[in-house]
């Protein structure tokens, strides 16, 4: 494998969990909900996935368990913010803290145990093509899932009635309610979808990236995913580009460290956040383009009239 | 048509009998009987709070009556919800549209249609229907880019796609220019000619006389009269609505104008909000003792202009703004208040007053930095002068007839008209030398509106310069010495009120002045 192949491969593996977690959060935010609990849902996905795969020996059961772990956390968030109308920011932070603590507790017996790695797809002949074969046709299955999900979400939001309803609910929940749409049900569904993809992102970490359980193994990726959604101005295409950009920056940091370049690693690991702040600045100076996609009722609780 | 009207004598399209709606102890509709007939425009008249909206919401299924019956084409029915009403053939155009700004016209309409009507090429059908009825609409346009009149067309077209038998319109002309209103009337006439019935809610009596065949008048939840609007005069209708003759606003001609107290030259301003309007080369001047009224359809830059003059929108331009003969560009709203200016914004709740604060606290909010009370209300470390605030509150309450639950009620507990009287009273109580007031009587009943307008006129006759921004032409003609018109962020020159007709203003609202280079106003 050539050096360039190795670099691109590591970038793909670094970017995929970001893309998975962010594409779900994009749908959640398009429906008008701000879930800051991605990190907590991801880490719960990671520990559930690892535990289930270790116990059963099947990586795919692990993936399923990770999805369920993420969904469970997101439904807790949904119940608190949609049914009990708690503050979404505070609840999201609580979900993150709860997820980090709970996953440590669940995972305490699994530290240092060997994991099960999700096998790479290997299409005979195609994956042996020079240069691109391994990169395009020989990845692990979740890479294809992440790309498929991005395309599906882009299509859903732009061309389907479901997508229209999600956008309407995120634009103005009072108007959507007045027209007879079930705002809270739509938001629950979006939150659960966000939980599922965050769980999947967690599974990617504990079943593909480093097939073992390490406490706090998400290492802030949930926050980068959250930043990514804003960076993308809520557009799936830009989101995918941003995920690979941020993943690339992340890997660049590691290489820079390994090669002993004089760049402090903290500087490089802060780049995604700096990029997000710059994106926010650009958005606020040229709002016409991005505001169309910005969910106007983002983060506001909805209480229907009696 | 002839057959239809004969049938109607026996079974009207919609009949309500002894309809009552109570909210707790409050009776919003008391024993109302009313019938609406095919092929006619039926007016529902009444002051704010008379119970018009409650009645209409029961017909549309948004509220359920406490007692009484609703008959649709002779059958007693229960309208379970708005979707049921639409299935029956009842369409409604609301005063405040439930539109999604960031979605396109066709997306908005599609969201509101039942599944069977979404089939096929909806864009195509919207385009052809809107052209057919003289309501041109581009189905792919983003709602945020449309004027208020165009937004109303979306609602009307949405109703028409469902081929309603009864169309309910809640104050449809409140947001239209006179020409747009005439176009709407033509559409309505065509609809009734095709056999549709229209229930037309309004408090504009001239237009009721113009297009309505029947009129029902409500007051305090009770039906006070059923009249033929063609034989009544606007004055008799008004008297029926209010219950006593309406206080006429008294405005003496003013020959005694003084120096310019508020002036703007070549103001260009880009809005800080995404869908805001850019102000282009605005020139205006208001002299002591003069009332300048700015007419225009909502959303043409009025709030931006208000924000720039009050100092709330940071003004980064290099134009010169003069207040009390001082350049005031860099000053914030409190510094402008200290120069003697006062500001009444359009939204009384949330901008003019804070809902959950009591009235005295609300007085403090706009007056804490003003230096024209006998002693400062806010004495820094010495605290707030509560006693003086209470005195001010009772003075404002008395002078401006603010009706409230108790002396220092929460602002949110006041009705719209009373809160507006409070907000206006709070500013006028200072006797400001310059007053800028945006939509002074929006959504306020006739009695309160007359009081507010008289107070504004009295202030100007004491030598203050007053800038009124309004979309209500009746109000503008009642108040203004000079009239200018704003459209798409451009302000026309100022003309003496006596030289202008409504049609002139309507043409300017539609932008006739935009082509010419704008002259210095007033």
Same domain? For B331 and B185 the reply is no
**Which domains, from first to last, does chain A contain?**
3-291 (1.10.3470)
Same domain? For B78 and B98 the reply is yes
Contact at CB, A296 and B102, closer than 8 angstroms: yes
State the pLDDT at residue A5: 81
- Probe site for chain A from B103, B144, B272 (most A CB atoms < 10 A): B103
Report the residue count for chain B: 522
Q: Directed axis angle between helix B416-428 and helix B446-461, to 10°?
A: 10
| pTM for the structure as a whole | 0.74
A4 vs B159, which has greater pLDDT?
B159
ipTM above 0.85, yes or no: no
State the pLDDT at residue A167: 95
Q: What are phi and psi of B450, to 5 degrees?
A: -60, -40
Measured CA distances, A104 to A54, A111, A199 (Å): 16, 9, 16
Structurally, how many domains does chain B consist of?
A: 3
Same domain? For B393 and B496 the reply is no
Say whether pLDDT at A288 is over 70. Answer: no
Same domain? For B206 and B89 the reply is yes
CA distance B393 to chain A (A): 33
Mean pLDDT, consecutive 10-residue stretches, chain B (522 aa), reads 46 91 84 92 84 88 90 92 88 81 91 82 90 86 81 88 91 77 89 93 82 90 90 82 70 78 87 75 91 88 89 71 81 88 89 90 86 68 82 92 85 84 92 93 80 92 93 87 91 90 84 56 36
State the pLDDT at residue B519: 41
Mean pLDDT of all residues in A31-51: 97
Helix (H, G, I), strand (E, B) or coil at B121: coil
B119 at A interface, C-beta within 8 A: no
Boundary (domain end) residue, out of B187, B213, B242: B242
State the pLDDT at residue A189: 97
| Distance of alpha carbon B477 from alpha carbon B293, whole angstroms | 9
State the pLDDT at residue B441: 86
Say whether pLDDT at A177 is over 60. Answer: yes
A293 at B interface, C-beta within 8 A: yes
Query: In this prediction, what percent of chain A has a pLDDT beyond 90?
Result: 61
CATH of residue B60: 3.40.50.300
Query: In this prediction, what percent of chain A has a pLDDT beyond 70?
Result: 96
B146 at A interface, C-beta within 8 A: no
State the pLDDT at residue A99: 97
Same domain? For B356 and B398 the reply is yes
Q: What is the dihedral of CA B474, B475, B479, B483, to 10 degrees?
A: -70
Count contacts between A and B (CB, < 8 Å). Answer: 47
B87 at A interface, C-beta within 8 A: no
**Position A198 confidence tier, pLDDT thresholds 50, 70, 90:** very high
Cα three-residue angle B171-B175-B177, rounded to 5 degrees: 120
* A19 Cβ contact partners less than 8 Å away, ≥ 6 residues apart: A146, A147, A150, A239, A240, A243, A244
Contact at CB, A179 and B112, closer than 8 angstroms: yes
Are the C-beta atoms of A170 and A35 separated by less than 8 Å?
Answer: no
Cα three-residue angle B457-B459-B464, rounded to 5 degrees: 110
Q: Which positions in chain B touch A171 (Cβ < 8 Å)?
A: 100-103
> Using CB atoms, which residue from A165, A181, A291 is nearest to B274?
A291
State the pLDDT at residue B516: 46
| Distance of alpha carbon A62 from alpha carbon B484, whole angstroms | 71
A168 at B interface, C-beta within 8 A: yes
* B171 Cβ contact partners less than 8 Å away, ≥ 6 residues apart: B95, B201, B202, B203
B112 at A interface, C-beta within 8 A: yes
State the pLDDT at residue B510: 78
Residue A193 exposed, middle or buried by CB count within 10 Å (0-12, 13-18, 19+): buried
State the pLDDT at residue B148: 74
Put simply, the chain B residues between 252 and 281 with a CB less than 8 A from any chain A CB are 274-275
Of the candidates B77, B74, B75, B47, the one whose C-alpha atom is nearest the C-alpha of residue B64 is B77
A300 at B interface, C-beta within 8 A: no
CA distance A236 to chain B (A): 17
State the pLDDT at residue B3: 44
| Distance of alpha carbon B438 from alpha carbon B432, whole angstroms | 16
| Distance of alpha carbon B242 from alpha carbon B248, whole angstroms | 13
* Domain interval for residue B360: 349-430
Same domain? For B229 and B319 the reply is no
**Cα–chain center distance at B48:** 12
B100 at A interface, C-beta within 8 A: yes
Same domain? For B317 and B366 the reply is no
Same domain? For B29 and B128 the reply is yes
Boundary (domain end) residue, out of B242, B274, B308: B242
Same domain? For B379 and B459 the reply is no
Q: Which residue of A has its CA nearest to B62?
A: A178
State the pLDDT at residue B251: 76
Q: Which residue of B has its CA nearest to A294?
A: B102
Contact at CB, A171 and B112, closer than 8 angstroms: no
- Which DSSP helix (H) or strand (E) runs through B56? helix B52-59
Q: Which positions in chain A touch B144 (Cβ < 8 Å)?
A: 292
**Position A291 confidence tier, pLDDT thresholds 50, 70, 90:** low
Say whether pLDDT at A240 is over 90. Answer: yes
State the pLDDT at residue B332: 86
Range ranked top by mean pLDDT from A26-40, A281-295, B5-19, B361-375:
A26-40
Place of tokens 């049938």: B7
B110 at A interface, C-beta within 8 A: yes
Q: What is the side-by-side order of every strand in the sheet holding B67-72?
A: B26-36, B14-23, B67-72, B75-77
State the pLDDT at residue A28: 97
Contact at CB, A168 and B103, closer than 8 angstroms: yes
Q: Directed axis angle between helix B359-367 and helix B386-399, to 10°?
A: 100
Same domain? For B448 and B383 the reply is no
**Position A286 confidence tier, pLDDT thresholds 50, 70, 90:** low
Q: Tokens standing for B147?
A: 């004027």
User: Residue B178: CA atoms inside 13 Å, Cβ hemisphere, count?
Assistant: 15
Same domain? For B462 and B478 the reply is yes
Q: What are phi and psi of B470, to 5 degrees?
A: -150, 155
Q: Which residue of B has its CA nearest to A159?
A: B107
């Amino acid at each position: 494998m050539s050096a360039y192949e190795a670099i691109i491969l590591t970038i793909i593996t670094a970017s995929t969990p970001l893309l998975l977690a962010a594409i779900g959060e994009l749908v959640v935010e398009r429906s008008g909900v701000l879930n800051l609990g991605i990190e907590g849902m991801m880490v719960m996905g990671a520990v559930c996935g690892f535990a289930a795969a270790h116990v059963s020996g099947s990586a795919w059961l692990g993936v399923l368990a990770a999805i369920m772990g993420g969904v469970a956390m997101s439904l807790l968030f949904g119940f608190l913010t949609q049914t009990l109308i708690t503050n979404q920011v505070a609840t999201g932070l609580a979900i993150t803290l709860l997820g980090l603590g709970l996953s440590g507790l669940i995972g305490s017996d699994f530290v240092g145990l060997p994991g099960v790695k999700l096998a790479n797809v290997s299409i005979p002949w195609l994956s042996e093509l020079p240069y691109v074969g391994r990169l395009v046709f020989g990845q692990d299955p979740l890479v294809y899932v992440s790309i498929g999900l991005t395309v599906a979400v882009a299509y859903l939001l732009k061309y389907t009635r479901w997508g229209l309803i999600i956008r309407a609910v995120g634009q103005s929940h009072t108007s959507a309610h007045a027209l007879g749409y079930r705002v809270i049900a739509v938001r629950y569904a979006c939150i659960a979808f966000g939980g599922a993809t965050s769980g999947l992102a967690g599974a990617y970490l504990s079943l593909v990236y480093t097939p073992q359980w390490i406490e706090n193994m998400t290492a802030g990726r949930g926050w980068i995913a959250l930043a990514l959604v804003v960076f993308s101005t809520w557009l799936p295409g830009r989101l995918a580009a941003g995920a690979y950009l941020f993943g690339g920056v992340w890997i660049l940091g590691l290489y820079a460290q390994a090669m002993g370049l004089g760049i402090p690693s903290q500087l490089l690991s802060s780049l995604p956040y700096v990029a997000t702040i710059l994106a926010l600045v650009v958005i606020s100076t040229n709002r016409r383009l991005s505001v169309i996609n910005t969910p106007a009722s983002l983060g506001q609780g909805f209480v229907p009239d009696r | 048509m002839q057959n239809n009207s004969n049938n109607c004598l026996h079974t009207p399209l919609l009949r309500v009998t002894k309809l009552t709606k109570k909210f707790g102890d409050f009776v919003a509709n008391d024993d109302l009987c009313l019938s609406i007939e095919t092929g006619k425009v039926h007016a529902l008249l009444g002051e704010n709070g008379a119970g018009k909206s409650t009645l209409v919401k029961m017909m549309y299924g948004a509220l359920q009556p406490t007692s009484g019956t609703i008959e649709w084409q002779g059958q007693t029915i229960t309208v379970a919800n708005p979707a049921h009403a639409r299935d029956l053939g009842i369409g409604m155009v609301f005063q405040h549209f439930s539109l999604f700004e960031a979605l396109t016209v066709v997306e908005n309409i599609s969201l509101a249609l039942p599944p069977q009507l979404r089939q096929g090429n909806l864009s195509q059908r919207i385009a052809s229907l809107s052209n057919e009825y003289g309501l041109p609409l581009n189905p792919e346009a983003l709602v945020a880019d449309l004027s208020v009149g165009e937004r109303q067309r979306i609602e009307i077209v949405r109703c028409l796609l469902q081929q309603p038998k009864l169309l309910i319109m809640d104050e449809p002309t409140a947001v239209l220019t006179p020409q747009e209103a005439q176009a709407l009337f033509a559409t309505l006439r065509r609809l009734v000619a095709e056999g549709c019935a229209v229930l037309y809610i309004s408090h504009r009596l001239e237009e009721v006389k113009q297009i309505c065949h029947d009129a029902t008048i409500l007051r305090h939840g009770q039906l006070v009269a059923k009249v033929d609007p063609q034989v009544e005069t606007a004055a008799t209708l008004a008297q029926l609505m209010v219950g006593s003759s309406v206080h006429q606003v008294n405005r003496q001609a003013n020959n005694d104008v003084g120096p310019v107290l508020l002036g703007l030259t070549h103001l260009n301003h880009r809005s800080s909000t995404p869908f805001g309007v850019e102000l282009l080369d605005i020139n205006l001047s208001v002299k002591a003792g003069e009332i300048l009224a700015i007419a225009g359809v909502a959303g043409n830059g009025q709030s931006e202009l208000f924000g720039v003059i009050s100092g709330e929108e940071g003004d980064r331009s290099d134009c010169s703004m003069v207040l009390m003969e001082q350049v005031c560009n860099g000053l914030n709203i409190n510094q402008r208040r200290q120069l003697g200016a006062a500001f009444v914004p359009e939204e009384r709740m949330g901008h003019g007053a804070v809902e959950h604060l009591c009235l005295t606290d609300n007085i403090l909010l706009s007056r804490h930095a003003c230096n024209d009370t006998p002693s400062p209300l806010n004495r820094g470390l010495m605290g707030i002068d509560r006693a003086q605030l209470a005195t001010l509150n009772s003075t404002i309450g008395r002078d401006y007839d603010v009706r409230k639950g108790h002396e220092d009620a929460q602002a949110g507990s006041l009705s719209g008209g009373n809160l507006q009287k409070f907000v206006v009273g709070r500013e006028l109580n200072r006797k400001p030398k310059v007053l800028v007031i945006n939509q002074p009587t929006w959504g306020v009943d006739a009695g309160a509106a007359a009081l507010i307008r008289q107070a504004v006129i009295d202030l100007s006759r004491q030598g203050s310069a007053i800038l009124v921004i309004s979309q209500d032409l009746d109000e503008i003609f009642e108040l203004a010495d000079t009239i200018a018109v704003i459209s798409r962020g451009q302000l026309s020159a100022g003309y003496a009120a006596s030289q202008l007709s409504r049609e002139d203003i309507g043409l300017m609202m539609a932008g006739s002045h935009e082509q010419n280079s704008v002259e210095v106003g007033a």
